[in-house]
Structure 1
Amino acid sequence: MTVERRRIGDRQVHPVGLGCMNIMHSYGPPADEHEAKALLVRALDIGCDFLDTATIYGLGRSEELIGEALGKRRQEYFLASKCVLGFREKQRTLDGRPEAIKAACEASLKRLRTDVIDLYYLHRPDPKVPVEESAGAMADLIREGKIRFYGLSEMGEDQLRRAHKVHPVAALQSEYSLWVRNPEIAVLEACRELGVAFVAFSPVGRGFLADPPADPSAFHDTDMRKVLFPRFSDENYAGNLPLLETARAVAREAGCSVAQLAIAWAMAKGDHVLPIPGTRSIRHLEENHAAAGVRLTAEQVSQLDAAFAPERAVGPRYSAAGQASVTTEMFDFEKSQHGG
């Protein structure tokens, strides 16, 4: 089946990209580096040409692996990375000042072994720096030829519109899946209106919509799902499992896996939506990539919308600390979960 490519800026990419966070970061110990490099090479070999990484992933190591594994094939893929959320002396930092953004870009270019980053995001809002100032630094980097486009990550409609007035935003990235519907409050439509690509990270619910863990309490101590994502907690997880019943039934009807169903559902929400599932498994990489060929009917999308109505999820999307680091919109019932 011919897959229609999707636009970021003036570029066209395969609609299902590869998120490169969990090869070195977040869901337990880092992947074996030889296996991680093999995954990256395989991604290009099957036509997955949109790779999304960040300074903070593995404290720079994710960017280095891409440079080491794919540096000689740089013209074959669209490369995204992120700044503001970074590190210094192995400690996380948050710095949206223009001079910090420009220094971070120089460091990322070296790690990625490239002279230009296609899409460079403000990874998180810095509450101490107006988004207009950070956007101005991105505009400078575009004029200098060090990045081609810039984007925002985990920000709401207000900051999107404010940044877009300084210099057009090419993409906004946020968590979006059957399990996390917050972009539907405002930013999904705002992106459509402004001609901004919407990049959906964690489209398979951090594994919940792929191979749901039998016992989240057995996660490795370094797995962020243990502390940052309350829906995986002992008191909430069992209440979320019934959500999968409809997904499994619709997946059988559509002739695909539940993970592919979740990715296809995100794609069905607009031709400006690009999901970027992450994985350490070549098998899952190939499965996710093939989801671009899954076509859901309007009835199937509506059935999934209803089964995964936002208020049916048990537990907030983020812990209080995680929610405090973003400016994404919340549903009214979520505000009460966070004391708002």
Structure 2
Amino acid sequence: MDNKIFKTELQHKDNGNESNRRNFLKNAALLGAGMSILPLVTKASSSGDRSQMNTVTTDNKDFSPTKITTRRTLGSGNSSMEISTLGFGVMGMNHHRGYHPDRKAMIKLLHQAVDQGVTLFDTAETYGPFINEELAGEGLYPYRNKVAIATKFGHQFVNGKHTGELNSRPEHIRKVAEDSLKRLRVDTIELFYQHRLDPKVPIEDVAGAVKDLIKEGKVRRFGVCEVSAQTIRRAHTVQPLTAVQSEYHLMWREPEKEILPVLEELGIGFVPYSPINRGFLGGDFNEHTRFNSGNDNREILPRFTPEALRANLAFVEVLNRFGKTRGMTSAQISLAWLLNQKPWIVPIPGTTKFAHLAENMRSLDFTITPDEWHELESALSKITIIGDRYPAVLQNNVQN
């Protein structure tokens, strides 16, 4: 593990130094839109130097959410991309996360995220399908010259419905790019990921198709999702990758074995999705939680069965004990841990609530020493995690 620490010089104190997530969220929710943000002083360069971690100083006397002023760089050379230290996953605003507020409320939250300094927003054609891209396009249109929207290709649709098949043929990639540009209301896709590896199409052909789109100005950068180290090398040879996106969090650390080392070697950034394990690490679920809205993929995930939830709560209990003396929620610990791993990692937590957005931003406000992280990881290593992250049929679409 990289001993460099994502540091912020903040003394986070409250009565008895006890963390209470529910009180935090209650206070944060009262803020709403249009609130004034305390000024922040950046104490490190935002030049995107991959060898430097960023430092922020802010006054933490109230519940005003942190505004992100620090930056991280994904990729290197001509493929580099400087964005906010935390991104925002748009998917859950309408897809795979159960009931959600109406479109108007979600557009307002996107505006609030931009106001808080978020500059990277992540979506995909398959979220909805298509609806999520349209939401991002409408909500972020007023900020189109200030933010970067990443989207993805690689699935097959017929009459607006997912067939369950993958499709990364070059001609299909081009069509997806054209359609996504219209839905996103942009002239160029800032970061275009292959969503899942298509075994029928060599990755070199995929990279070549995106390279052509980059030459034409329709796409600016290339990324891949959930692929092996070998696939990353092959793709990067044809068209330099800016980022690899994969699941990565305290309960799923497989990328550390082969993916993170090759990314560091090649100068490629890493974007962890589900950084709070689909909400579980935030402490909001227990064995009585049901995901049966008809729009929640957690209902079919082995790690979210009642038995797994009951057993895995021990993981959250460790995080709560760790955070209790530091004024941190379990979600904040999870995000801060990810930021500590490498300076070129940019998590993309998503939410439908301003309170959770504020909570996530606060993860930038804590200083944790290497010894403290070691203490936490040592305690977590003693817990046996129950349940696979995907059922077998979905696991076949990812390379470990």
Both proteins in one fold, TM over 0.5: yes
In structure 1, the gaps of 5 or more residues are 330-340
Matched, 1:170 2:239: no
SS in 2 for 1:273: coil
SS in 1 for 2:222: strand
- Show the counterpart of 2:333: 261
Q: Take 1:319 and 1:216, find their aligned partners in 2: how far apart are those partners?
A: 19
Say which of 295, 298, 316 aligns to 2:388: 316
Task: Note closer, same or farther for the CA distance 1:256–1:217 as it changes in structure 2 (3 Å cut).
Answer: same
SS in 2 for 1:256: coil
Q: Take 2:82 and 2:246, find their aligned partners in 1: how far apart are those partners?
A: 20
Say which of 49, 71, 90 aligns to 1:5: 71
Q: Take 1:153 and 1:280, find their aligned partners in 2: how far apart are those partners?
A: 24
SS in 2 for 1:22: helix
Task: Note closer, same or farther for the CA distance 1:248–1:90 as it changes in structure 2 (3 Å cut).
Answer: same
Task: Using the TM superposition, name which of 287-296 and 182-191 deviates more.
Answer: 287-296
Give CA-to-partner distance per residue, 1:175-194, whole Å, 9 cap, x none: 01111111111101211111
Q: Take 2:364 and 2:223, find their aligned partners in 1: how far apart are those partners?
A: 23
Using CA pairs under 8 Å that are at least 6 residues apart, name the structure with larger relative contact order, 1 or 2. Answer: 2
Matched, 1:216 2:289: yes
- Show the counterpart of 2:308: 236
User: For residue 290 of structure 2, what is the amino acid of its counterpart?
Assistant: S
Q: Report the CA distance between 1:142 and its aligned residue.
A: 0.9
Say which of 150, 154, 172 aligns to 1:80: 150
User: For residue 105 of structure 2, what is the amino acid of its counterpart?
Assistant: E
Say which of 50, 53, 72 aligns to 2:120: 50
Matched, 1:197 2:263: no
Q: 1:216·1:233 contact (CA, 8 Å) conserved in 2? A: no
Give CA-to-partner distance per residue, 1:92-133, whole Å, 9 cap, x none: 242111110010000000000000011110000111111111
User: For residue 268 of structure 1, what is the amino acid of its counterpart?
Assistant: N
In structure 2, the gaps of 5 or more residues are 1-55, 58-68
Q: 1:216·1:226 contact (CA, 8 Å) conserved in 2? A: no
- Work out the percentage of aligned pairs sharing the same amino acid: 38
More helix by share: 1
Q: Report the CA distance between 1:138 and its aligned residue.
A: 0.9
Give CA-to-partner distance per residue, 1:246-288, whole Å, 9 cap, x none: 2112222332211111000001010011110011111111211
Matched, 1:288 2:360: yes
Q: Report the CA distance between 1:311 and its aligned residue.
A: 7.5
Q: Report the CA distance between 1:85 and its aligned residue.
A: 2.5
Task: Note closer, same or farther for the CA distance 1:11–1:28 as it changes in structure 2 (3 Å cut).
Answer: same
Q: Take 1:48 and 1:270, find their aligned partners in 2: how far apart are those partners?
A: 19
User: For residue 108 of structure 2, what is the amino acid of its counterpart?
Assistant: A
- Show the counterpart of 2:139: 69
Q: Report the CA distance between 1:291 and its aligned residue.
A: 1.4
SS in 2 for 1:179: coil
Q: Report the CA distance between 1:30 and its aligned residue.
A: 4.9
SS in 2 for 1:120: strand
Q: Take 2:130 and 2:366, find their aligned partners in 1: how far apart are those partners?
A: 34
- Show the counterpart of 1:17: 87
Q: Report the CA distance between 1:76 and its aligned residue.
A: 1.1
Q: Take 2:122 and 2:367, find their aligned partners in 1: how far apart are those partners?
A: 25
Say which of 68, 74, 98 aligns to 1:28: 98
Task: Note closer, same or farther for the CA distance 1:149–1:311 as it changes in structure 2 (3 Å cut).
Answer: farther
Task: Note closer, same or farther for the CA distance 1:59–1:116 as it changes in structure 2 (3 Å cut).
Answer: same
Q: Take 1:10 and 1:266, find their aligned partners in 2: how far apart are those partners?
A: 20
Q: Report the CA distance between 1:233 and its aligned residue.
A: 0.8
Q: 1:123·1:153 contact (CA, 8 Å) conserved in 2? A: yes
Give TM-score, length-normalised by structure 2.
0.78
Aligned Cα RMSD in Å?
1.6
Task: Using the TM superposition, name which of 284-293 and 255-264 deviates more.
Answer: 284-293
Q: Report the CA distance between 1:310 and its aligned residue.
A: 9.4
Q: 1:176·1:203 contact (CA, 8 Å) conserved in 2? A: yes
User: For residue 176 of structure 1, what is the amino acid of its counterpart?
Assistant: Y
User: For residue 152 of structure 2, what is the amino acid of its counterpart?
Assistant: K
Matched, 1:117 2:189: yes
Q: Report the CA distance between 1:81 and its aligned residue.
A: 0.6
User: For residue 58 of structure 1, what is the amino acid of its counterpart?
Assistant: G
- Show the counterpart of 1:226: 299
Give TM-score, length-normalised by structure 1.
0.92
SS in 2 for 1:116: coil
The number of residues matched between the two structures is 327
- Show the counterpart of 2:342: 270
User: For residue 349 of structure 2, what is the amino acid of its counterpart?
Assistant: P
Q: Report the CA distance between 1:87 and its aligned residue.
A: 2.8
- Show the counterpart of 1:38: 108
Task: Note closer, same or farther for the CA distance 1:308–1:219 as it changes in structure 2 (3 Å cut).
Answer: farther
